[in-house]
Structure 1
Amino acid sequence: MASADSPRFGDSPIPRYLQLAELMRQRIARGQWPQGHRLPSLDELGSEFGVARVTVRQAVDMLARDGLLSPQQGRGTFVTGQPSDRWLSVQTSLASLARMYSDTEPQIVNIDESTTAPALRPGEGQAADRYVFMRRVHSRQGQPYCVINIHLAEPVFRRSPRRFRDEPVIPILVGLKSLRIAKAHQVLTIGTADMEVARLLDVPVNSPVAEVRRIFRDDTDRVVYLGEVTYRGDAIHVEMNLLP
C-alpha cells in the first residue's frame, strides 16, 4: 500500500484527490467501469494510481456525493450512476449551428461588455472599424456548459442590441436579412480548464474542455463575428461522416 502520494500526477497545484476523481469519472463515462461494477479496493486503487489510501477515499466520497459511486459497508464500492450525457454536438453547417443554439434555449449570463477589438490571425479576414465585446456563460437546466468570448462588429450589433445581449448571437446573425455571411469557419481544439474557466463552468481545474474558435465574414471579407467558446468536456461530442 502506498504510504504517501507519489509524484505520478505531477506538480499540479490541484489536490490529488480532485485529479483522481476526474480520472475515475472518465472511466465511468467511457464504460470501463459500467453500471453495477465493483471497484477494486481502496488499497488496490491506491497502488494503481500511486496515491495514499486517504486520497482514494476522498475521491470516492466526492463521486458518491455526485451519485456516481456507492460505497457499501462490507461489500465494496459500486458504480451507481453515469455522468451527464454529452448532448451538445459539434455542428458542421451554419444553419445547423443556428438551430442548435435555438433548440437548446440557453440561460445567458453576460459577465462583461466593452469595445475590445479581436486579435485576428493571418488569413482570418479584415477587421471592422469597431467591435462590441461580450463575455457570457451559457447554462442548460441550471448547469453551465460553455463560456463564450464574442466580438461582434459594432454596426451589426447596433441593429438589435437588446436581442444580441439577451439571446444567442448566431441565430440572430443568420436571421438578419441585411447581412450575408459569405464565409464561416471554425476550429476545435482540446484543452484544459484554467482557474477562471473552471470556476465559471463549475468543474475542477485542468478538467478537459473543448475550445472552438468561430469566425464569420461578410462579402467584403470583414470579420463580423468572432466567437471563442470553451465547452465543458462532459457536454460535447464530435461526430463526422468520413468520405470513402
Structure 2
Amino acid sequence: MALDPLRPSPLVEQATESLREQITQGNWPVGTKLPGETSLAKSLGVGRSTVREALRSLAGAGLVQPRQGSGVFVMATEPRESWSVRLRRAAVADVYEVRMLLEVEAARLAAERRTDDDLIGLDAALAHRAQSAGGGTAAFVDADIVLHEAVVAAAHNPVLVGLFTEFVPRLRQGLIDLVELLDLRAEDPGHGQDVHARLVEAIAGGDADRAARTLRGELTRTLDRLRALQP
C-alpha cells in the first residue's frame, strides 16, 4: 500500500494519522501484519523513531498490537474511543494539573489573609453556585469559577490573581468538557457543593492547612477519575 510522504510539521502526529487512516479505511484489515519499521519509514519519508512512536500511539488506541519477534498486527479498525474524546480528556487533565499548582496554594493563602469583605464575597459566591445547580452546564461552570476566583482574590497576591485571570478561559472550557466526559451532574446537579462549603468554612476559620487539604483532595479525586479512563 503506497503512502504519501509527510510534510515537515509534527511528524509523529502526521505519521500516526497516516497509518491510522490506512487501518480505518480497511486497507490493512484486522489480522494484517504491518510492513516493517524500515519500510514504513521509507514510505512516509521519516525516521524509524518517528514510525516507532506512531505505532506506540496506535497500540495505545487499541488499533495495533506488537508481537515480540513477529511484528505489529492490526487488532481493530476503530479506536477504543474517538480521538477527539482522547484529546479532550488529556486537555482536561492538563488543566487540572495547573489547578493543583495555582489554586491549592491560593486556598492556603486565602485562609491566612482573607478580610471580612472577602468572606462576604465567598459566601455570596458559594450561594450563587448552589443556586446555579438547577441550570445548564455552562451557567453552573461559570458560577463555580466565580467562587474559585473569590478564593484566589482572597489570597491578596496580584501576581497569582493575574495568572488565574489568564487561566480562566482554559479552565472554563476544561470544566465544561469535564462535566460531559465524566457526567458529573447526572446524580448530583450541584456536584461538589459540600466540598466547596467546607473550603469556604476553612478559609473563614483561618485554617490554612485544612483549606489547602480540602481543595487538593477534591482536585485529586477528579484527576484520578480522569486518569482511570485512560485506555
Scaled by the length of structure 1, what TM-score is found? 0.33
* Larger helix fraction of residues: 2
* Larger strand fraction of residues: 1
Scaled by the length of structure 2, what TM-score is found? 0.34
Q: Which has the higher contact order (CA 8 A, sep 6+)?
A: 2
Q: Which protein shows a greater Rg?
A: 2
